[in-house]
Amino acid sequence: MTSSTETAMRQDLAAAYRLIAHFGMDDLI
């Protein structure tokens, strides 16, 4: 896995987590 791919994945995961937390479902993680 290239560093650029890993960075993109981390950004996607962070964005998804913020979206989930925004809807108040962060307790499911």
pLDDT tens digits for 1-29?
Answer: 679 999 999 999 999 988 888 887 656 55
Residue 26 confidence (pLDDT): 58
Residue 22 confidence (pLDDT): 82
- CB neighbourhood size of 9 (10 A): 11
Q: How many angstroms separate the CA atoms of 20 and 28, rounded?
A: 9
pTM attached to this predicted model: 0.54
Residue 19 confidence (pLDDT): 86
Q: How many angstroms separate the CA atoms of 9 and 2, rounded?
A: 11
Residue 24 confidence (pLDDT): 75
